[in-house]
Chain A
Amino acid sequence: MMALLAAVPTLTPPTGSDIVGLLPEVILGGAFVILLLLDLITPASRRTWLAAFSVVAIVAAFGTTVWGWFDAYNNPHVHGVFFGAFAYDRFGLFINGVLLTSALLVVVISPQYLNRRGLHYGEYYSLILAATTGMMLLAGAASLMVIFLSVELLSISLYILSGFSRTDERSQEAALKYLLLGGFASAFLLYGMALVYGETGHTQLEQIAIAIHSGIATVDPLLLIGVVLMLVGFAFKVSAAPFHMWTPDVYQGAPTSVTAFMSVATKVAAFAALIRVFSFAFPDLYPQWQTAVVFVCILSMVWGNLAALSQTSLKRMLAYSGIAQAGYILIGVASSPHDAGGTIGALFYLAAYSLTNLGAFAVITIMSGRGEDLDRYASIRGLAHRRPYVAAAMALFMLSLAGFPPTAGFFGKFLVFSAAIKSGLMPLALWGIATSAVSIFYYLRVVLLMYAKPDADAKSYEWSKTTVSGGAVVAFTTAGTLVFGVFVTLLYTVATAAQQGALPRL
């Protein structure tokens, strides 16, 4: 007790530069609260204004992120800001950029979709902003406490969002399933953190690494169990097998715009935290965690791809494909101790995957019918004959997910495979290509269906007209997928800078 009191006078308040490090998060968090108030005074017919306000907030946060990209480089905070609880570095800012782009695109496609589904409530935008804030905090978190808090912030927002369609049973089922399993995963994560804290006596990643490196904390089973439990918690959030059970049901049940957001942004943020924790807190334990990551990685690739083969709903197929993609990104994570290219590859892959997957979900979103999602395979048959441009964009997204050049997806795969070969993880690369070959079946099946002749006697589906906002999002993601697939350097140099700028480093 005396020691605690004695410590108080040394407590110096955070300085202005500390708050600068959190500027994007502060802007978005503030916007989230203000949106709640705005919702109260906005008439129901004018809720698109709320979307516009969110767009402004996201753009402002993006602007500060870009500014921070240079500021963090010029004035590095080697030990992080807020007493080392938060890392203000290019790694986190890169992830912020990806997250904000995803959030922006989702907000732009949402009003039209929500109106059609009869779900247009103001809370939607608040929750999207809250989840994004949580994800951004997670991307920069350098302390176990901040990691846990931000995981909860983003999870709780997403639980509500996935049950946003209150009259739809599947949406309710999705929310409940996500809540129960998510709570379970949080418990795993927290238990792991508790064990790690118990063994090392620190919650800051930098201090944990020092404690393990200097031998203050012995590498005993309890510490390793803690590490593995944290891996389980993160694997749940990135939906890697065998912790993926929630993914298909939740992705299918949630409103499509929400699925679009969480399939991309959750994965990106959780991978950022996973990479940061494992590379910066446990660099000395890599022989141990690498084995576990390799196991999860192979299982995700095999299970995700095989299960995706037999799906008949686009949303479920993309859910399983997301599990498989998590496996490919894990190849990069598993290689990261030996080769910086592993982390770079994972970051590149995450950005490429975000654009592509968001594009694919945007197509499903803007196509949806009145009151229902048209995501069955039967309902996209012959799409290309009536919506040639949307179908072409969807085909491109499928090809990018399958890893064909000239799309960004190809270079994502190429970079992680390169890293695996360079680090001597050849079996991982072999599993990767074997499962990639399998994945072509189900990705091309979608393309084949869209370009098939529509059945004359089949029920004709009422695809929505493509609006300007929906078309813009699809055009943007298409352009991104192609540009980063040809002018790879644009994204690659940024990902490299993000990897090199990652803090804290030993």
Chain B
Amino acid sequence: MLDAYIPILAFFGICVVFAAGVPLLSAWLGPRKPSPEKSMPYESGVVPQIGARQRFSVSFYVTAMLFIIFDVESIFLFPWATIVRQLKIFGFVEMVVFIATLFIGLVYVWRKGAFRWE
């Protein structure tokens, strides 16, 4: 049964060899002439003013999380919609419970200040 997967294994092997081999080859064969300008962080040609290691707001993270929550909601809603008539009142109640729970979560993060963008 596992024999069928041998080509995939071989494919993985080739990938690894190729992925590791090319950088190694370039490191080995390529010429290296480092200068201060070259080893500077690249910021669209502008000379960096301050160090690259800085704290930055994690609002991206909150946005991403909120997106996932509502994304998952819609993923559940689609298949539910296809059989909602067969599930009758039970299916309806189930989905109300689900959305209510999500809604409480939304209220919670709202009140906790997840949507303030400072």
Contact flag (A, B; Cβ within 8 A): yes
On chain A, the residues within 8 Å of B112 by CB distance are 40
Residue of B nearest to A220 (CB): B1
Q: Is A37 an interface residue (CB 8 A)?
A: yes
Pick from A13, A36, A39, A40: contact of B87, CB under 8 Å: A13
Residue of A nearest to B2 (CB): A222
Pairwise interchain contact A37-B87, C-beta atoms closer than 8 A:
no
On chain B, the residues within 8 Å of A33 by CB distance are 101, 104
Pick from A8, A11, A37: contact of B104, CB under 8 Å: A37
Within residues 45 to 79 of chain B, which ones have a CB less than 8 A from any CB in chain A? none
Considering the chains assembled together, what is the distance between the CA atoms of A37 and B108 in angstroms? 7
Pick from A8, A14, A36: contact of B108, CB under 8 Å: A36
Q: Is A43 an interface residue (CB 8 A)?
A: no
On chain B, the residues within 8 Å of A8 by CB distance are 83, 86
Pairwise interchain contact A36-B83, C-beta atoms closer than 8 A:
no
On chain B, the residues within 8 Å of A36 by CB distance are 104-105, 108
Residue of A nearest to B93 (CB): A13
Q: Is A215 an interface residue (CB 8 A)?
A: no
* Given A8-B86, A13-B88, CB of A37 within 8 Å of CB of B101: no
Q: Is B114 an interface residue (CB 8 A)?
A: no
Considering the chains assembled together, what is the distance between the CA atoms of A37 and B90 in angstroms? 26
Considering the chains assembled together, what is the distance between the CA atoms of A33 and B105 in angstroms? 8
Pairwise interchain contact B108-A13, C-beta atoms closer than 8 A:
no
Task: Tally the A-B contacts, defined by beta carbons under 8 Å.
Answer: 24
Pairwise interchain contact B90-A13, C-beta atoms closer than 8 A:
yes
Within residues 76 to 106 of chain B, which ones have a CB less than 8 A from any CB in chain A? 83, 86-88, 90-91, 101, 104-105
On chain A, the residues within 8 Å of B86 by CB distance are 8-9, 11
On chain B, the residues within 8 Å of A9 by CB distance are 86
**Closest Cβ of chain A: how far from B115's Cβ, in Å?**
14
Q: Is B111 an interface residue (CB 8 A)?
A: yes
Pick from A13, A37, A39: contact of B91, CB under 8 Å: A13
Pick from B83, B101, B111: contact of A40, CB under 8 Å: B111
Q: Is B107 an interface residue (CB 8 A)?
A: yes
Considering the chains assembled together, what is the distance between the CA atoms of A8 and B88 in angstroms? 13
Considering the chains assembled together, what is the distance between the CA atoms of A258 and B107 in angstroms? 27
**Closest Cβ of chain B: how far from A346's Cβ, in Å?**
35
* Given A8-B83, A33-B101, CB of A40 within 8 Å of CB of B88: no
Considering the chains assembled together, what is the distance between the CA atoms of A11 and B107 in angstroms? 34
Considering the chains assembled together, what is the distance between the CA atoms of A36 and B112 in angstroms? 11
* Given A8-B83, A9-B86, A33-B101, CB of A40 within 8 Å of CB of B107: yes
Interface flags, A24-44, vs B, CB<8A=1, else 0: 000000000100110110000
On chain A, the residues within 8 Å of B88 by CB distance are 13
Pairwise interchain contact A37-B107, C-beta atoms closer than 8 A:
yes
Within residues 16 to 64 of chain A, which ones have a CB less than 8 A from any CB in chain B? 33, 36-37, 39-40
On chain B, the residues within 8 Å of A40 by CB distance are 107-108, 111-112
**Closest Cβ of chain A: how far from B88's Cβ, in Å?**
7
**Closest Cβ of chain B: how far from A419's Cβ, in Å?**
40
Q: Which of A13, A14, A37, A39 has the most CB of B within 10 A?
A: A13
Considering the chains assembled together, what is the distance between the CA atoms of A33 and B107 in angstroms? 11
**Closest Cβ of chain B: how far from A195's Cβ, in Å?**
13
Considering the chains assembled together, what is the distance between the CA atoms of A36 and B104 in angstroms? 8
Residue of A nearest to B105 (CB): A36
21 contacts between A and B (CB under 8 A): A8-B83, A8-B86, A9-B86, A11-B83, A11-B86, A13-B87, A13-B88, A13-B90, A13-B91, A14-B90, A33-B101, A33-B104, A36-B104, A36-B105, A36-B108, A37-B104, A37-B107, A39-B108, A40-B108, A40-B111, A40-B112
Chain A contacts to B: CB under 8 angstroms: 8-9, 11, 13-14, 33, 36-37, 39-40
Q: Nearest 6 pairs between A and B by C-beta?
A: A13-B90, A40-B111, A36-B108, A33-B104, A8-B83, A33-B101
Q: A8-B86, A9-B86, A13-B91 are in contact. List 18 more A-B contacts (CB 8 A).
A: A8-B83, A11-B83, A13-B88, A13-B90, A14-B90, A33-B101, A33-B104, A36-B104, A36-B105, A36-B108, A37-B104, A37-B107, A37-B108, A39-B108, A40-B107, A40-B108, A40-B111, A40-B112
